[in-house]
Each structure stands twice: as C-alpha cells, then as structure tokens.
Amino acid sequence: MTYITHSRLSKSVDTFREVWYKFSKNRLSIVGLLIVLIITILAAFAPYIAPYPAHAGRFVNFPEASQPPGSRHLFGTDVNGRDILSRIIYGYRFSLMMGVFVLALVVPIGVTLGLIAGYFKGTLIDTVLMRITDIFLSIPPLVLALAIASVLTPNLTNAMLAISLSWWPWYTRLVYGLVSSLRNEFFVQAAKATGASTPHILFREILPNCVSPVLTKMSLDMGWVILMGASLSFVGLGVQPPKPGLGSMIADGTQYLPDSWWMVVFPGIAVMIVVLGFNLFGDGIRDLLSEEEA
C-alpha cells in the first residue's frame, strides 16, 4: 500500500496554488465548492439573508396564504402564508447542523474502533469489534435509523443520534481495512521496537496515514447525511414543526398537489442542490487527496 510516510498530507498543503490546481482540474469540483460555500453562507447568516426571518417559526399570515411564486415571495408561500424561500434558508441551517454534528460524533468513534480492531487483527478484540460492525451493517442504514428514531421522541437531536448510530460502522470498516495493511509496515515495527506505547502507535504513527481516505469519505458523506436527515424529516421523525425541515416542508406540501406545486418543488430542488454540491465537492477532495498517493 502507499500510505507509508505520514508527512504526505503536510507536504500537500505546502502551497495553496498547487492544491487549487489539483482540485480545480475538474470543473465540476469548482461548481461543488461554490454550492457548498453559498449554502454555508446562507445557513450561517440566515437571519440577515432570509427575506422574512420571522416566517421560520410559528407565524401565520392568512391573507397571503398559498401564494404562487411572485415578486413579493420568490418561491411562493405555504398554507400559513409563510415565505418558502425564507423557510428553505432556515432549513439549510438544520441540514448543515445535522451533517456537522453527525460526522463530529461518528468519525472519532468509528475511526478509533477501526484503529483498535485493525491493530489487534486476528485477536479476540478484532473478532468482537468487527462482528458487531457486521451486525450494524446487516440492515439498510435508513431502516436502522428509522427504527431507532421511532423509539425516541421525534426531534432534531434524536434524529442526529439515530443517524449516527447507523453510520459509525462505515468508518470502522474503512479504517480497519487501512490499518490491517499498515500494521506490518516498518515504521510501526520500529515504533514498537523503541518501546512506544500502544496509544502512541495507534494515534501518532498509524492514524496520520489514514487521514486522506477518512477526509475524502467525510466530504462525500456530508451530502448523504443531509439526504438521510431530509428523509427522516419527510416521515415526521426529524425537525418538528413549526421549525422548517426540508423534508417536512415537502411532506406538508404534498397534501396540496398539484395546485400548490411550489410548496413541494422548491424544497425538493433545495435538497437536490445541497446533496449535489457536497457530492461534487467530495469528488474534488478525492481527486486532490488520492493523486498524491499515486
């Protein structure tokens, strides 16, 4: 394998220009980066950017209910007269929050377990950890997340918890595969021979060599976590009303099809764009990090 020295990543950030050159060779990566940047800015500054910030909460304005897209409301209004564009911008807030929190929870746990299982390959620790991982992977992640969310009170925090519980095994399996081949490398043997402690070998010697694949997976996973969050929210197990979840906005709107199509079409496109953005951005990160390993 090619993850032999751990100075590669630090070398790769030598010059910003070199990184940008590699990343931008594929035009679509730039599109992805732009989408991600724009959505992040929208979400971060929602109260200043959204045309009607108050419409993100419990707000009723019946005279303007169910208005088609127009100059006052670019994406139209819902049955309560709330501006759909404003609600989408706030919905992005919850979506990004979900992606960040889930990955922040899942990556350390999954990576640590994968490090341990891979390093002790062939022992009881490996068997137990990897068989548990297999069990979690034996059911489609969305089904497991739905089952977990169903026993908890439906809200954003529990939806994040449910997704996290079904997501960590993917990182364990990824890192396990990497570590299984790294553990026999000379630098690990050398560290062992000099009497380095196991935690030191795991986190200071082996972990730095797993950074590129894990970062690549994280950048691609942002989109998938957001998609799964939207799915849970569509079923009613995510962000609770009156807060705007992208999925629950779509679910609410389906009752008023086909006349009030804008209630469904714009939030639907909003989900598609954020997932597309992170997919393209993740592809760019992969190109950037995998090329230097070749």
Partner 1 sequence: MEFMSFLVRRVAYSIFVLIGLSMLIFTIVRVMPGDPARLALGARATKEAVQELRDRMHLDESLPVQYYHWVKDVLQGKLGISLWTRREVSIDISRFLPATLELVLFAALIEADVRILLGVIGTRYRNTWVDNTLRVGTYFAVATPAFVVAIFLSLIFGYMLKVLPIVGRLDPSVVAPPVRTGLITVDALISGNFTAFIDALKHIIMPAIALSLGGMAQDARITRSSMSDNLLKEYIAVERAQGIPPRVINLKYLLKPSLIAPVSVLGLDIASMLGNAFMVELVFGWPGLSQYGVEAALRKDLNAVTGVVLVIGLVYLTINILVDITVAYLDPRVRLR
Q: Which two tokens stand for residue 136?
A: 């979690």
Residue 26 CB, shortest distance to partner 1, in Å, is 11
Q: Is position 1 an interface residue for partner 1 (rule: CB under 8 A)?
A: no
Q: Is position 81 an interface residue for partner 1 (rule: CB under 8 A)?
A: no
Interaction residues for partner 1, span 190-229 (CB under 8 A): 223, 227
Among 13, 151, 193, 294, binds partner 1 (CB under 8 A): 151
C-beta of 4 vs 28, nearer to partner 1: 28
Among 4, 147, 190, 197, binds partner 1 (CB under 8 A): 147
Structural contact between residues 209 and 3, judged by C-beta atoms closer than 8 angstroms: yes
Among 134, 200, 241, 255, binds partner 1 (CB under 8 A): 134
C-beta of 151 vs 193, nearer to partner 1: 151
C-beta of 50 vs 149, nearer to partner 1: 149
Interaction residues for partner 1, span 234-273 (CB under 8 A): 234-237, 247, 250, 254, 257-258, 261, 264-265, 268, 271-273
Q: Which two tokens stand for residue 114?
A: 């994968």
As a whole number of angstroms, the distance between CA 152 and CA 161 comes to 10
C-beta of 162 vs 202, nearer to partner 1: 162
Q: Is position 28 an interface residue for partner 1 (rule: CB under 8 A)?
A: yes
Q: Which two tokens stand for residue 216?
A: 């690549």
Among 38, 146, 161, 215, binds partner 1 (CB under 8 A): 146
213 cis-preceded (ω within 30 degrees of 0): no
Among 11, 25, 131, 192, binds partner 1 (CB under 8 A): 131
Structural contact between residues 51 and 30, judged by C-beta atoms closer than 8 angstroms: no
Amino acid at 50: A
Interface contacts to partner 1, rule CB under 8 A: 28, 131-132, 134-136, 138-144, 146-152, 223, 227, 230-231, 234-237, 247, 250, 254, 257-258, 261, 264-265, 268, 271-273, 275-276, 279-280
